Amino acid sequence: MVPINYYIILSAILFTIGALGVLIRRNALIIFMSVELMLNSANLAFVAFARAREIAMGQPNFSGQIFVFFVIAVAAAEVAVGLALIVEIFKSKRSIDVDQMSSMKG
């Protein structure tokens, strides 16, 4: 059995990489993928904590897993709308560089 701490550390590392991606990349698609990576690392922490709670309580407990299920569903919705927005921005600006999305007018 792997200690829960290891999972939490891995989750923190993945989250940091995702946050770095949001900060240093200028391609809107890559930024989006980094956000997905951060959501994913949070999910990993959720499942790890759910497992720790199961072991501590000695009986199965599904609240953490169900929360992860909801996070996955919300991420799917977010991706659908976000990618539609990126396609629209590309249509009007011919670029998805976030540095060029400075004007409020379309």
Partner 1 sequence: MTIDLILFLVLSLVAIATALGMLLSRNAIYSALFLVLNFITVAVFYLLLGAPFIAMAQVTVYAGAIMVLFLFVIMLLGAESLPKAQVLPWQKPLAITLAVLLSAEAAFLLVTRARPEGQILHPEDIANSMDNLREMGMVLFNQYLLPFEVTSILLLVAMVGAIVLTRKEKGEQK
Q: Which helix (H) or strand (E) holds 70?
A: helix 63-93
What is the per-residue binding string for partner 1 in 12-51, x denoting contact by CB under 8 A? -xx--xx-xx--xx-x-xx-xxx-xx--x--xx--xx-xx
81 near partner 1 (CB under 8 A): yes
In the complex, the smallest distance separating the C-beta of residue 12 from partner 1, rounded to whole angstroms, is 11
Q: Please, which residue, 74 or 101, has the CB nearer to partner 1?
A: 74
Report the residue number, 31 or 104, with the smaller CB distance to partner 1.
Answer: 31
Q: Minimum CB separation from partner 1 for residue 104, in Å? A: 17
Question: Both tokens of residue 106?
Answer: 């379309």
* CA distances to 14, 62, 86 from 30, in Å: 15, 33, 11
Q: Is residue 57 part of the contact set for partner 1 (CB under 8 A)?
A: no
- Find where tokens 């919705």 sit: 77
Residue 26 CB neighbours (<10 A): 11
